Structure 1
Amino acid sequence: MRVLVVTAVAAERDAVCAAAEPGGGTTLPGDLELRHAAGLPVALDALAAGVGPAAAAAGTATALTAAALAGQPYGLVVSAGIGGGFSPGSGSGAPLGSVVVADAIVAADLGAETPDGFLPVTELGFGTVAHHPDPALVRAVTAAAGARSGAVVTVSTVTGSAARAAELAERHPGVLAEAMEGFGVAEAAAAHGVPVLEIRAVSNAVGPRDRAAWRIGDALTALTGAFRTLPGALPAAAAPAPEPPRP
């Protein structure tokens, strides 16, 4: 199996690649640098596509198209990085340093504000607002990483108030984390017919911004640990994947 991992920024990509040995890189159209990981039972490439769902979708589509044209298509796309965790309570939420595997990748703010509240785009009669990764794969990856599984919401504006955090938690019961790229990655993967996952390590609490409380280093370390366990949870992990020719 060939796996494409899409992050927002280089620090997240490097944390993913730290789970393996260096394997060089390839430059894609748009000056996107695709890093190749080595020494794993699956072929894994990592791409820092940029911040937000639009950049994530564009970068993912570029990488998937290039791989297909080269005759080396990917079998799985993973949106990965750090993110905010909702406050734990009644068995839900995700504390700092924990890892979350999305069982639903949800566009939290794709829709319209109305006098009666927010309406998702689906209730306006078009589009989609959620992608649901394969449940068996989610369970396997969650167990291997010692993670939690639940909904991860994609936002274009990071939550910065308790009121907004409460609104999102009410609208999406059981939501564990928020980030800015998952839905864009999932849209591109779906357009190419490739399965998708989202894996997040929690660096901060969703709500009022308190940078002094952020634990970015710890979250990046947790992300590396999660990707060390990922190959063993994948269906094709038992047999090494052939390495594609590198330019």
Structure 2
Amino acid sequence: MSAVRLLVVTAVAAERDAAARGLGPADPVPPPAPPGRDAVRVTTGGDGLGHPPIRADLVVGGVGPAASAATTAAALTAATARGEPYDLVVSTGIAGGFAPVAALGSVVVADRVVAADLGADTPDGFVPVDSLGLGTAEHVCAPRLAAAVARGLGAVHAPVLTVSTVTGTAERAIALRERHKAAAEAMEGFGAAEAATAHGAPFLEIRTVSNAVGPRDRSAWRVPEALAALHDAFAVLHTVLTRGTPPPYG
């Protein structure tokens, strides 16, 4: 049975390592490795009951939507050239959560990813790029799979915002939450989704909440707890992918 080929893109190494430990023992990716920094691979065998094995490549894509898009696109292109296209792209890591929807330590699975600050500032307020007729400001995640993963993780299933400048005021946090009905804010998902969409690859974004969106109080952040939640989420994701919704993921 063919393995499910998974590309996981994080911003930093700590996120990559937490996700990798959740999936299983990781090894350096043999040449030719996918683009990105210090890629690792987790390979799990099938269970003999008709459930497929998984081969996951986890790469550090860098901070921000541009870095994430570049790394994801390069990895997808290289895999296609090898004749081993990925079945699924996952953007993941820790994030800010919008209170009270996503509490510290909780898991958010995006139903869509939104470029929340891609557009124009006007006297009448912010206008997203799609309303300007200049592109798209959001991507829908693989609907059946995202819903199944959210159920399996007991996660919040709602929009995740991508921003290039993280929110630092209560006023902006309230405005973004009300405008998008969002659960979390991060910096990479939309970039990875743009690359995945261009390659026709299904996409997910999974985030664990380390802090509340709003005024930046570093003493209140719970990064170790969010990384631990990320580990646990990927352990459950492994089961969902092998025993739940099969590819192709639509």
Report the CA distance shift for 1:29/1:36 in structure 2 as closer, same or farther (over 3 A).
closer
Q: 1:208 to 1:67 in 2, by over 3 A?
A: same
Aligned to 1:86: 98
2:138 to 130, 139, 147: 130
Partner residue in 1 for 2:17: 14
Residue identity opposite 1:46 in structure 2 = L
1:43 and 2:55 are equivalent in the alignment: yes
Amino acid of the structure 2 residue aligned with 1:24: P
Matched, 1:61 2:65: no
2-side partners of 1:109 and 1:153: how far apart? 9
| CA–CA separation in structure 2 for the residues paired with 1:162 and 1:42 | 42
Q: Which residue of 1 aligns with 2:50?
A: none
Q: What is the CA–CA distance in structure 1 between the aligned matches of 2:54 and 2:143, rounded to whole Å?
A: 21
2:87 to 75, 79, 85: 75
Give CA deviations for 1:24-44 in whole Å, capped at 9, x if unaligned.
Answer: 224657663321013363111
In structure 2, the gaps of 5 or more residues are 46-52
Match of 2:151 among 135, 140, 143: 143
The residue aligned with 1:245 is: none
How many residues are treated as equivalent by the alignment?
Answer: 234
Moved more, 3-12 or 31-40: 31-40
How much is the aligned-residue C-alpha RMSD, in angstroms? 1.8
Structure 1, unpaired ranges of 5+: 240-247
Greater Cα shift, 18-27 or 51-60: 18-27
Give the conservation status (yes or no) of the 8 Å contact 1:28–1:62: no
Q: Which residue of 2 aligns with 1:242?
A: none
Distance 2:139 2:242 in 1: 20
Cα deviation 1:172-219 (Å, max 9, x = unaligned): 12x100000000000000011000000000000000001011000000
Distance between the aligned counterparts of 2:215 and 2:205, measured in 1?
24
**1:238 deviation in Å?**
9.3
AA aligned opposite 1:126: L
State the distance in 2 between where 1:32 and 1:67 align. 16
1:34·1:46 contact (CA, 8 Å) conserved in 2?
A: yes
Normalised to the residue count of structure 1, the TM-score between the two structures is 0.90
Q: What TM-score do you get using the length of structure 2 for normalisation?
A: 0.89
Identical columns (%): 57
Structure 1 residue 226: Cα displacement = 0.6
AA paired with 2:72? Answer: T
Q: What are the superposed Cα offsets for residues 37-83 of structure 1, whole Å, 9 maximum, x if unpaired?
A: 13363111101110000000000011111111111110000000000
Contact 1:231 1:237 in 2 (8 A): no
**Alpha-carbon displacement from aligned partner over 1:101-139 (angstroms, at most 9, x marks no partner):** 000100000000001000000111120011111221111
1:104 aligns with 2:104: no
CA contact (8 A) 2:35 2:75 kept: no
Counterpart of 1:195 in structure 2 is 202
For 1:34, the equivalent position in structure 2 comes to 39
Aligned residues of 1:7 and 1:49 also touching (Cα < 8 A): yes
Please identify, of 4-13 and 23-32, the stretch whose mean Cα deviation from structure 2 is larger: 23-32
